[in-house]
Amino acid sequence: MPASTAMSPRLRLHHLLLSILSALPTCPLDHSTPTSAAAAAAATASHHHVVTTLPGYDGELPFRLETGYVAVDEEEHGAELFYYFVESESGDPRRDPLLLWLTGGARCSVLSGVFFEVGPVRLALEHHRPYDAGELPRLRYHPHGWTKAASVLFVDSPVGAGWSFSRHPDGYLVGDVSASLQLKHFLAKWISDHPEYLANPFYIGGDSYAGKIVPFLAQKISEDIEAGVRPIVDLKTIMEHCQGEDYSNPKNAICRQALDRFNEGSVDEWLRCHNGDLPYSMDIKSNIKFHHNVTTKGYRALVYSGDHDAMIPFLGTQAWVRSLNFSVVDDWRAWHVDGQSAGFTITYMNNMTFATVKGGSHTVPEFEPERSLAMFKHEMMQPDA
């Protein structure tokens, strides 16, 4: 009996991801010590190319995928962030939103977001038979990816996550604030390279720990907009998930758990994430003030929670939303997809919406893709969204 038949599902998944990663074109396999060829290739300020096939996917990809590197601290440490950009599949990418998507956790690869959440392909996990470690995992098309409605820019952040790397070891010494500022720098360079997306409505979204970064990044972008910095994205909406907690003193026991998982480099996430061997400073204690600031400036916000989220129960998120003291514009009501109840929603002043997704767990789009896509499309339909 081959050893692989005894592999736990988790270990199996780890092997699957590693096979995909190692087969992806032009990525340095070990981000902390990029091969000289990869480093040389990445040395140009913005280096990208279009990927037309993926290992494990039969034939040409039915969507446009671009991957690349953007240098974010070129003078100091030579750190570069890696991205996957999928153009909107709606047929109207010039008008659809551009969504920046960040993955939470301890330096988790944003491939979690691509393959398990809002991306256009998913790993086909065949649970009914043992996995052979020598075999390449299969990818299948995902009909409820958010790329059905928006172009999505998936970024490996902070430095050290996924394929993002630094030439100098000190480049890995980042935290909430510096990682957010690097993302802002990344965006400015990416949009200069892709001016055709300058006028698109720009959204920032992320799950779990990334929710801590989203409001702060939005605050920093809004400051640049006020200062007249050019070129700049047309920020419209932030989409978040459990971010508002005061992280230095989480009231919510479950939020505290999420934080502990982050500190420990959790067992659940190690396969997609870094093992906690790189330093990271949690220097944003609470982002309620950033969130408050950004929403009162007129940017929309959608805060969502799965109603089966055992890690960050929606009641805790809701308590956080209430603490902003915004008055209710449209009180609790059910929302529906195809005549079926899909969750509940409430709208506050300052165009702030809180929604629950029925059946959704911690990473909502992973387990409730249809309802999540419907929620996202609904948010996009709002005036000025």
Ligand X SMILES: *[C@@H]1O[C@H](CO)[C@@H](O)[C@H](O)[C@H]1NC(C)=O
Q: Reply yes or no: is the peptide bond before residue 383 cis, omega within 30 of 0.
A: no
Q: Which of 31, 156, 309, 372 is catalytic?
A: 309
CB of 152 to ligand X, least distance (A): 23
Number of residues that bind ligand X (CB under 6 A): 17
By the 8 A CB rule, do 337 and 345 touch? no
Which one of the spans 29-37, 125-133, 147-155, 292-300 is the region binding ligand X (CB under 6 A)?
Answer: 292-300
Taking the least distance from each CB to ligand X, the nearer of 152 and 324 is: 324
Nearest residue to 319 (alpha-carbon basis) of 375, 245, 238, 213: 245
Q: What is the dihedral of CA 125, 131, 136, 138, to 10 degrees?
A: -20
Nearest to ligand X of 116, 290 (CB atom): 290
Write down the catalytic residue from 112, 151, 208, 305: 208
- Site pattern 57..76 for ligand X (x: CB under 6 A): --------------------
* Nearest of 117, 170, 123 to residue 147 by alpha carbon: 117
How far apart are CB 291 and ligand X at their closest, in Å?
A: 9
349 binds ligand X (CB under 6 A): yes
By beta-carbon proximity to ligand X, the closer residue of 114 and 324 is: 324
CB of 229 to ligand X, least distance (A): 12
> Is residue 383 a contact point for ligand X (CB under 6 A)?
yes
CA distances from 105 to 21, 113, 183, 273 (A): 19, 12, 16, 7
Element (H, E) at 14: helix 9-23
Whichever of 257 and 382 has its CB closer to ligand X, that residue is 382
Instruction: Compute the least distance from the CB of residue 294 to ligand X, in Å.
Output: 8
Does the annotation mark 362 as catalytic? yes
Tell me which of 351, 353, 356, 363 binds ligand X, using CB under 6 A: 351
Amino acid identity of 31?
Answer: H
Q: Kindly report the number of other CB atoms within 10 A of residue 347's CB atom.
A: 19
Counting DSSP H helices and E strands in the chain, the numbers are 10, 16
Minimum CB–partner distance for residue 227 and ligand X (Å)? 9
Binder among 12, 107, 236, 292 for ligand X (CB under 6 A)? 292
Judge whether 178 counts as a catalytic residue.
no
Look at residues 298, 268, 286, 274 and name the one whose alpha carbon lies nearest to residue 211.
Answer: 286
Q: Given the residues 109, 291, 362, 372, select the one marked as catalytic.
A: 362
| Residue closest to ligand X when measured from CB atoms | 384
**Rounded-to-integer distance, Cα 138 and Cα 245, Å:** 38
| Cα gap 311→308, rounded to integer Å | 9
Q: Cα–Cα distance between 90 and 77 in angstroms, integer? A: 39
Q: Specify the stretch interacting with ligand X by CB under 6 A; choose among 88-96, 236-244, 344-352, 366-374.
A: 344-352
E strands in the chain: 46-51, 65-71, 79-86, 98-102, 121-124, 138-141, 151-156, 165-166, 174-175, 201-206, 234-240, 280-281, 300-306, 328-337, 340-348, 352-357
Cβ neighbours of residue 254 closer than 8 Å, sequence gap 6 or more: 310, 311, 312, 313, 316
Interface positions, 261-290, toward ligand X (CB under 6 A): 288-290
Judge residue 379's burial from the number of C-beta atoms within 10 Å of its C-beta, 0-12 exposed, 13-18 middle, 19 or more buried: buried
In angstroms, give the least distance from the CB of 278 to ligand X: 27
Q: In the set 128, 325, 327, 331, which binds ligand X (CB under 6 A)?
A: 325
CA 204, 311, 120, 368 torsion: positive or negative? Answer: negative
Candidate list 293, 315, 359, 370; residue touching ligand X; CB under 6 A: 293
372 is known as an active-site residue: no
Query: Which of 103, 109, 219, 347: binder of ligand X (CB under 6 A)?
Result: 219
Task: Specify the residue, 2 or 298, whose C-beta has the smaller distance to ligand X.
Answer: 298
Q: Considering only residues 298, 310, 334, 341, which one is a binding residue for ligand X as defined by CB under 6 A?
A: 298
Q: Which is nearer to ligand X, 8 or 249 (CB)?
A: 249
Binding site for ligand X (CB under 6 A): 219, 223, 226, 288-290, 292-293, 298, 323-325, 349-351, 383-384
Residues assigned a catalytic role: 208, 309, 362
